[in-house]
Amino acid sequence: MIEMKVAGIVLDAATRSPIVLLRDAAERRALPIYIGQDQAKAIINALENQTPPRPLTHDLMVNILQEWNMTVERIIIHSLQDNTFYAVLTLRQGEVKKEIDARPSDAIAIAIRTNSSIWVMEEVVADASIPVDREADEAERQAFRQFLSNLRPEDFTKRDQGSPGYNS
């Protein structure tokens, strides 16, 4: 799994639909997830630490969790099927841990409010992320190609003759 942070909310240029952008720690990959207007508003409010005069849905959920001494350990965006992302909230109450199915947008809105981590399965990142730093990606590919071109068969032989089981 890869830990990601909310980079912000953007609008799709063609459809004007909101997209939440998640970024990895190295800021090399971004994961765009289309969300609804209400969820975008809830995420923006949480990012800007805005407190509504009365609790909205995500605030209410956090209040319920706190009253029942439950913590959100993390959220996990675990799959992408037919262009739909799937997530779970990992909740803990004492020694009991449960995973609750959730839309990624709702899970993200709650994670921000509870300072919980956001994790994405590697397969989802591989399938749906976009490169943020193409130059760094290309430099890494070139360095790896250079490394491979300098490898010799003897680089793979065991060098430590003092090791048990060494056969010359």
d(CA 41, CA 20): 11
The pair of three-digit structure tokens given for residue 59, joined into one six-digit string: 């605030």
89 to 9, 50, 73, 119: CA distances (angstroms)? 21, 23, 8, 10
The DSSP H or E segment spanning 101 is: strand 96-102
The pair of three-digit structure tokens given for residue 21, joined into one six-digit string: 């952008």
Share of the chain above pLDDT 90, in %: 69
* Predicted TM-score (pTM) of this structure: 0.77
Is the predicted pLDDT of residue 147 greater than 50, yes or no?
A: yes
Collapsed DSSP state (helix, strand, coil) of residue 147: helix
Q: Which CATH class is domain 2-150?
A: alpha beta
Is the predicted pLDDT of residue 142 greater than 80, yes or no?
A: no
d(CA 33, CA 50): 23
Please report the sign of the dihedral spanned by the C-alpha atoms of residue 8, residue 13, residue 17, residue 23: negative
59 to 35, 54, 56, 70, 108: CA distances (angstroms)? 18, 9, 5, 14, 12
Provide the residue count of the chain.
Answer: 168
Q: Which range (18-22, 56-60, 85-89, 135-139) has the least confidence?
A: 135-139
What are the pLDDT digits (tens) for 78-112?
A: 999 999 999 999 999 999 999 999 999 999 999 99
Phi-psi region of 149 (alpha: psi -120 to 50; beta: other; left: phi over 0): alpha
pLDDT at 150: 75
What are the pLDDT digits (tens) for 129-139?
A: 888 765 655 66
Placement of tokens 């970024």 in the chain: 23
Looking at per-residue pLDDT, the higher value among 47 and 166 belongs to 47
Asked whether 39 and 47 are in contact (CB, 8 A), the reply is no
